Structure 1
Amino acid sequence: MSFFAALDPLLVLQLLALGLCGGFLAGLLGIGGGMVLVPFLTVIMANQGVEAGLAVKMAIATGMATIVFTSLSSVRAHHRRGAVRWDIVRRLAPGIVLGAALASLGVFAALGGQTLALVFAVFVAFSATQMWLDKKPAASRTLPGPTGQLAAGGGIGFFSGLVGAGGGFISVPFLVWCNVAMHQAVATSAALGFPIALANSAGYALAGQRVAGLPDASLGYIFLPALLVIALASVLGAPLGARAAHALPVKPLKRLFALVLYALAAFMLYQGLRAP
């Protein structure tokens, strides 16, 4: 099956809806799309005839790959406001690349899809709780030295690679804890999303080269038709969400979205616990 043959009309409609929703939520609430995309992509990949465990891994990899494109528009908007701490990005990026390589080329490839589904479920439940409580960490220290920032970047890149998320729920609290102003922490986290996504996506593509059972039009674990359609739709949806953020009460929406995340976490928990 060729790349374009894989884009049947029903699949395109599903991916367009998913991309628009993911982009809208990213613009509205400032979150990465991975947490929303992965559960639905898992179902879509299973409907394409992919084995359940492999469907989870492809969903994580494809969801992460979309962040390569969607992060660029977010970073541009933050950069125009002068909010990105590029000095921090430069110091954390090497560790992020190392952590991402360890995750995507090593641990991700070695773990089964069911195990990764459980890890994802725990991460999403934790993120939902953060969003529900809306608690900010106390700014109680300064950024660590070069070794500490290398380790911090490694942890952010590694864990993001296991769950297919842009790392914002880890990097923003870390930066605020290190006395970075909240608006700068959010903007800098958005900028960090690009190396996180790029390094992990390259690892997924390489690690999945010889995996059996991948559908046609795949680049390693990344399903290219889904990447193309979701990335295009997300770029369209994000500005709509950003405009809505100025007109809607964000705090109640965050709590509503936290409930959605709990439901998605429960679904992935089911995926991880059910028999292979």
Structure 2
Amino acid sequence: MFLGIPLGDLAMLAAGLLAAGALAGVLAGLFGVGGGAIIVPILFEAFRLLGVDEEVRMPLAVGTSLAIIIPTSIKSFRGHYKKGAVDMALLKSWAVPVIVGVLVGSAVARFADPWVFKLVFILVAGFNSIKLLFGNDTWRLATDLPKGWLLRAYGSFIGLASALMGIGGGQISNMLMTLHGRGIHQAVATSAGLGLIISIPGAIGYVFAGWGKEGLPPDAIGFVSLLGFLLVVPTTLITAQIGVNLAHAWPKRKLEVAFGIFLALVCLRFVVSIFE
């Protein structure tokens, strides 16, 4: 037994989480996401198998995902930055409102029912998937991103939704940027930088949001599982550069279709979980 988990079950869990980390790292570099969209559902299933209480299972998966995203986002952002694809001016404009949104989302996490997290996941991933798979250049809100308060409002929305989904913001910022005339490659690269801005305050916020909650496993610090963090992070760091290289090698349409299919599968998984 280790942390109250039978060694056989622990070995199976470790193998699954290591594989998930490898896939998450590739996705982080490829799509400019922190890998949370794959990590959250996998952690959710792992915590279910371990008997973690239903009331804390989803926020624990989300908080742990945000912690895992920190090193993944650093690796992904550095790779895209070296290729000169990141819009640094946009990142600076979004930094403060994104952090505000993340902190609000972390506070909501302490009191929200599990279905709230799943519904946010479904709505954002579902719309983004439809847009990527079936949209075209006429699907635009404007020819460029707005200025002033509306741009800051976009940033706050990205931070809030990302904190409730346990993602690095790539799904949402990619969607917003491409709807405003930005190319998918620049959107992916800039989203990698957002992952870093979101994940650090998000993980800290979830530690405090879950502090003292009943039903958490013995390795948890608030809504962050140390075991999940330690098992997933190593492989994400190893494989993130593979995704970065793929992102800059693939043509625009191939990248959009791949991202759209990926998001559709994530969305379907959480639709099923609501009715389980």
Cα deviation digits, residues 115-161 of structure 1 (max 9, x gap): 32232223222233233236455483444344333222111101111
Tell me the distance in 2 between the aligned counterparts of 1:98 and 1:145.
18
One-letter code of the match for 1:163?
Answer: M
SS in 1 for 2:142: coil
- Residues 215 and 29 (structure 1), Cα distance of their counterparts in 2 relative to 1, 3 Å cut: same
Distance 1:202 1:35 in 2: 19
Report the aligned-residue RMSD: 2.9
- Residue 130 of structure 1 corresponds to which residue in structure 2? 131
**Distance in 2, Cα, partners of 1:50 & 1:113:** 13
Does residue 187 (structure 1) correspond to residue 171 (structure 2)? The answer is: no
Taking a change above 3 Å as real, the CA distance of residues 127 and 185 of structure 1, as seen in their structure-2 partners, is closer
From 138, 156, 159, the equivalent of 1:157 is 159
Listed as ranges, the matches of 1:27-46 within 5 Å are 27-46=29-48
Q: Give the secondary structure class of the aligned counterpart of 2:110.
A: helix
Residue-by-residue CA offset, 1:229-257 (whole Å, 9 max, x unaligned): 21111111222344455777885576466
Ranges in structure 2 where 5+ consecutive residues have no aligned partner? none
What number of residue pairs does the alignment pair up? 273
Q: 1:67 to 1:135 in 2, by over 3 A?
A: farther
- 1:109 paired residue number: 110
TM-score normalized by the length of structure 1: 0.85
TM-score w.r.t. length of structure 2: 0.85
Instruction: Give per-residue Cα distances to partners, 1:202-228, cap 9 Å, x unaligned.
Output: 111111002111111112111111112
**Does 2:109 align with 1:118?**
no
**Deviation for aligned residue 1:43:** 0.6
Q: CA 1:29–1:173 in structure 2 vs 1: closer, same or farther (change >3 Å)? A: closer
Q: 1:267 to 1:145 in 2, by over 3 A?
A: closer
Distance 1:28 1:250, change over 3 A: farther
Map 1:1-276 → 2, pairs under 5 A = 8-105=10-107, 107-133=108-134, 135=136, 137-138=139-140, 140-178=142-180, 180=182, 182-243=184-245, 251=253, 255=257, 258-274=260-276
Matched AA of 2:193: A
CA separation of 1:111/1:9 partners in 2, compared to 1, >3 Å: closer, same or farther? same
Deviations 1:148-199, CA, capped at 9 Å, x for gaps: 3322211110111111122122213333445555443332221111111112
* 3-state SS, counterpart of residue 212 of structure 1: coil
More displaced 10-residue stretch of structure 1: 75-84 or 124-133: 124-133
Instruction: State the identity as a percent.
Output: 31
Cα distance change on mapping 1:228 and 1:192 into 2, 3 Å: same
Cα distance in 2 for residues equivalent to 1:199 and 1:191: 14
For structure 1, list consecutive stretches of 5 or more residues without a partner in the other structure.
Answer: none
In the alignment, the residues of structure 2 paired with residue 11 and residue 71 of structure 1 have an alpha-carbon distance, to the nearest angstrom, of: 24
What letter is aligned with 2:127? F
Please tell me the residue identity of whatever aligns with 1:75. Answer: F
Q: Structure 1 CA distance, aligned partners of 2:152 and 2:259?
A: 32
Rounded Cα–Cα distance in structure 2 between residues aligned with 1:210 and 1:42: 20
